Amino acid sequence: MTETTAPILSVRNLVVEAVNASGPVRIVDGVSFDVHAGEVFGIVGESGSGKSITMLAVMGLLSGRTRLAGGEVKLRGKSLTDMSREELRRVRGRNVSMIFQDPMTSLNPVLRIGNQIAEILEIHQPELSRAAVRDRVIELLSLVGVPSPERRYRQYPHEFSGGMRQRAMIAMAIANNPDILIADEPTTALDVTIQAQVMELLLEVRTRNRAAMILITHDLGLVAETVDRVAVMYGGRLMEEGPVEEIFSRPAHPYTVGLMASRPRLDAAPAFLYSIPGQPPSLANRPSGCVFNPRCALQNGREICTTKLPLLDSVSTAHSAACHFSREIDGWIGEVVTADRNSMREAP
Amino acid sequence: MSIATADKTAPATHRFAWLRSGLHIIGQSYSMMFAAALLAAVLLLIVLVPLLPGYDPYTQNLAVSLAAPFENIDGRTYILGTDTLGRDLLSRAALAGRVSLLIGLSAVIISLVVGVFLGLVAGFFRGFVESVVMGLADLQLSIPRVLLLIAVAAIVGPSVVNLTVLLGLTSWVVYGRVARAMALSLREREFVLSAVTQGASATWNIRKHLLPNVLPQMLIVGSFELGQIIVFEASLSYLGLGIQPPLPSWGMMISEGQQYLEIDPWIALLPGIAIFMLVTGVQILSQAFTSEGQFDLASPQKGT
Amino acid sequence: MTQASPDKAFLQVDDLHTHFRVRGAGWRSETLRAVNGVSFSIAQGETLGLVGESGCGKSTLGRTLLRLNEPTRGAVYFKGQNLVGMGRGKMRAVRRSIQVVFQDPYASLDPKMTVGEIIAEPLHINNCYRPARVAEMIDCVGLQQDAANRLPTEFSGGQRQRIAIARALALGPELLILDEAVSALDVSIQAQVINLLKQLQKEMGLTYLFISHDLSVVRYISDKVAVMYLGKIVEMGAGEQIFSAPEHPYTQSLLSAVPIADPSYRKQRQRIVLKGDLPNPLDPPSGCAFRTRCFKARPKCAEQEPQLETRATAGHLSADHVSACHFAEPVVPDFMKINTNTQTAAPALRSGAILKA
């Protein structure tokens, strides 16, 4: 839980722009959050919300048409945004490591699994002998539950199943005992039974290494089950942030509520599914005021939503939301209104 | 990351959207504009020069043979000089350009039609048809084209039509292979499958879904092939297998000029430069229509 | 000729097999039994949810019903007519009644056609084009009429899926095969499309085969549910039965693996984490295909293949709940037992509280 101790990772006012034919477009807009030692921090959002780009920016991995346009990222008090490429390279894989969604594209198909993990160790711990590296790799593989690691060491990625590949990626990510593990949709490409295996492993190695973890996902279920604190992103901005129990029990942003209500649940069979009307925003044509206002049911034509950008404001001690009317949320959830049939047929 | 979703005001002129955005790209880049200028210069030469009075490409005048560019003899300026027989090089180069371009374009069209047809049929039906078509392609590639052309020229005799048809029929393989590869992936795409479930025939799918998606790529391949074929025709004419004198083609002219390289290099150099300008222009410009993933089938616009 | 099906079910599938020949080691060719003896039926107007993990054969099954893949053997009776072995001409007529919506809204629309052309295509194929029908379809999936002149690339994923649904509905089908039709969509858009599908079903009396790996969505949309594993149905029954009293260990572990969006469940769930991966489908285990990962496996499972039948041990539940396990036993899933803190908003949402729109 949040303590007064200094955060391990601190992100302030991060702005990322994509360079388009028609000029720069803000795809991450003023994102700030802290990650504390040993906690699991979740970033949840739909595609285009900027959740993955935010973490790429944190890692200094923006490339091509995206660039960091402002803000600061501090790792244990040291600014990553001021670092040289060389210094940043040393941080990556050592202090912070990342696990991506698709293990097939993250692994080099022509190199043996063992050698790929060994490479990470050799880069950051050149003092290790070859035998020591090899032993450590085999130890890591057995740690992540890859059976017969000596044999698997010499295999190629295509000889691994999807779940096994993700295990190998996790072995790579924890090889140098990083302070923070960033997992970007680590189980989205996996089947649900394999997802359960991989999430269990990820949480276990994290606890063992006492690392903090950032879980980026679109899956509210995964967030509810694994995360300590969560941030909800939409249209490149943070909508809400707080302890997971509070976000789920007392959501303070209409987008969060809509997201939770529009997902069918295994433990309930409601007669009607709420759906957030409209389409995700075009970031090149960002709505004025609150990004969510064109789809928001709470707005009710009130002018402030279209004119004034709501800032993250605390709702309780650790919980904040970026909505002008977060106090009205409770009443809104309670209301049970007969379904407006037309609400199913959204105008595009 | 999808940055922009639907632009609500987009007009319904999509049929020529590729052309418009292609032109837009040309306007954005200096190399594109340079290529366009090269191409325009060649086209102007070909179209306008033969219209000028007094410049007949066939008139011989041994008195002015091997005149240098801009040399003024008897009150007449030969802008690009003359050849050994005293024929005006500028008007010969222009006529040769017409011949080369006509042969090149016709051959490209013939090979494109044959190649796309065979490739799509092979890729869509697979099985026996595919084996036959691909076997043909391999066979075609294993016989040197020059040898084939020598043999055929010996039998039917060299003429512009024969040459064009032969060049066309021997260059289909590259279209065939690309079209087949694209058809293989397109036939598994859901829009083809759903047309099948709606009762569409193979002809329908090939005509309505495969062809429109393959054609832009094919035109790009064609633009590269055009250069290849013009150069190939030039080398055939150089060997005496292509265009027969007195009709000029750029290749012909190079072959005539090579004997005088030391005395008057212009004779060979000019048609060489013209070929270079045309081929470079076409190839660079064709990129305007490939970039931005316009026709890139493999990567449909997709969000993260 | 038309063969009469045993009963007059709307869609009845009997012992359907779809096998593929794949290149094995050397010159040997091996047989992939993607669909390996599947039987089920769907009543008109009903939704059958077909769930399973990737590689279980659920999509191949859907494609076989559409005759995009030829079945190796078995029968598919659609309104009494056997589609297997049906001639071209007759099949063409039946195809109008069975349509499909695929998963990927980006790959399923021809990028070279306008939305209007896409929706008109099935009408042109069947020589029954009417501009009014296209307009009607655009309206019925909730798009605006000006969409007709625009290209699919101008639309977002959810809107594209609406276009694909309009195309599938243009011919007035009775059976819609929805192959992961909402799986690629974002949560907020997914709910819109699910609601649209439910509404269209009600209005048009459509029958759905809803193929999905997403159990939560299947629970919401299906009347009946079938669970597939390695080419076979291992359990089938009414949605209520499958989700509140699953009998097959595979169904039980699937249900226990799905994360639930409620932190108060945390540490209260008894998750069954399965061992290992899916076995090689070219070389499935003897006896019960699930035994290599099953927590209940005993020697009998390797020797004798369990049949899909009603289980005596299953107690009072109705006869159309069938499962293929020697040791089938209904177990109430953990999430049905947990008492959540009633103070939270999550249960309010859980009970289906409708937000003011």
> What digits encode the pLDDT tens for the residues B186-231?
998 999 999 999 888 999 999 999 999 998 888 888 888 887 888 7
The tens digit of pLDDT for each residue in C287-304 reads 999 999 999 999 999 999
Does C346 lie at the interface with A, CB-CB under 8 angstroms? yes
Of residues C3, C6, C78, C85, the one with CA closest to residue C42 = C78
The neighbours of chain A, by the rule of 3 or more Cβ pairs under 8 Å, are: B, C
3-state DSSP call for residue B44?
helix
The tens digit of pLDDT for each residue in C226-281 reads 999 999 999 999 998 899 889 999 999 999 999 988 888 887 788 888 887 788 88
Q: What is the DSSP string of A216-232?
A: EES-HHHHHHH-SEEEE
Q: How much of chain B exceeds pLDDT 90, in percent? A: 21
Choosing among C254, C344, C354, which should be mutated to test the A contact, i.e. which has the most A CBs within 10 A?
C354
Q: Given the DSSP bridges, would you call strands A320-321 and A237-243 parallel, antiparallel or unpaired?
A: antiparallel
Does C225 lie at the interface with A, CB-CB under 8 angstroms? no
Identify residues of B whose CB sits under 8 angstroms from chain C CBs: 2, 5-7, 10, 12, 14, 17, 189-191, 193-200, 204, 208-209, 212-213, 297, 300-303
Q: Which residues pair with A27 in a beta bridge?
A: none
φ, ψ for residue C124, nearest 5 deg = -65, -45
Amino acid B89: pLDDT: 77
Query: Which residues in C lie closer than 8 A to residue A279 (C-beta atoms)?
Result: 156, 158-159, 189
The number of helices, as runs of H, and strands, as runs of E, in chain C is 12, 11
| Percent of residues in chain B assigned helix, strand, coil, to nearest 5 | 70, 5, 30
Alpha-carbon span C194 to C218, nearest angstrom: 10
Query: Looking at residues C116-143, what average pLDDT do you find?
Result: 93
Q: How much of chain A exceeds pLDDT 70, in percent? A: 94
* Residues whose CB falls within 8 Å of the CB of residue C323, separated by 6 or more in sequence, listed in order: C234, C235, C236, C237, C247, C248, C251, C308, C309, C311, C314
Query: Looking at residues C46-61, what average pLDDT do you find?
Result: 92
Confidence of residue B48 (pLDDT cuts 50, 70, 90): confident
Confidence of residue B135 (pLDDT cuts 50, 70, 90): very high
Confidence of residue A92 (pLDDT cuts 50, 70, 90): confident
Query: Looking at residues A225-253, what average pLDDT do you find?
Result: 93
Checking if the pLDDT of C156 tops 90, the result is no
Checking if the pLDDT of A20 tops 70, the result is yes
The residue of chain B nearest to residue A236, with distances taken between CA atoms, is B3
Q: Does residue C244 contact residue C212 with C-beta atoms inside 8 Å?
A: no
In what helix (H) or strand (E) does residue C322 lie, and over which residues does it extend?
strand C322-323
Of residues A158, A59, A144, A76, the one with CA closest to residue A112 = A158
Alpha-carbon span C282 to C33, nearest angstrom: 7
Alpha-carbon span B132 to B180, nearest angstrom: 13
Confidence of residue C72 (pLDDT cuts 50, 70, 90): very high
Confidence of residue A282 (pLDDT cuts 50, 70, 90): confident
Confidence of residue A163 (pLDDT cuts 50, 70, 90): confident
- Give me the residue from B3, B303, B304 closest to A284, CB to CB: B3
Amino acid B17: pLDDT: 64
Query: Looking at residues B267-284, what average pLDDT do you find?
Result: 83
Among A43-57, B23-37, B128-142, the least confident range: B23-37
In this structure, the number of other CB atoms found within 10 A of the CB of residue B139 comes to: 10
Of residues A209, A239, A218, the one with CA closest to residue A42 = A218
Amino acid C71: pLDDT: 94
End-to-end CA gap in chain B? 5
In this structure, the number of other CB atoms found within 10 A of the CB of residue B73 comes to: 14
Checking if the pLDDT of B294 tops 50, the result is no
**Interface A:C, Cβ pairs < 8 A:** 227
- B216 preceded by a cis bond (ω within 30 of 0): no
Alpha-carbon span A239 to A309, nearest angstrom: 11
Query: Which residues in C lie closer than 8 A to residue A249 (C-beta atoms)?
Result: 263-264, 341, 343-346
End-to-end CA gap in chain A? 42
Q: State the complex-level ipTM.
A: 0.86
Q: What is the dihedral of CA A47, A50, A52, A55, to 10 degrees?
A: -170
Of residues C296, C299, C16, C335, the one with CA closest to residue A221 = C335
Contact A27 B2 (CB under 8 A): no
φ, ψ for residue B257, nearest 5 deg = -75, -20
Of residues B19, B45, B90, the one with CA closest to residue B253 = B90
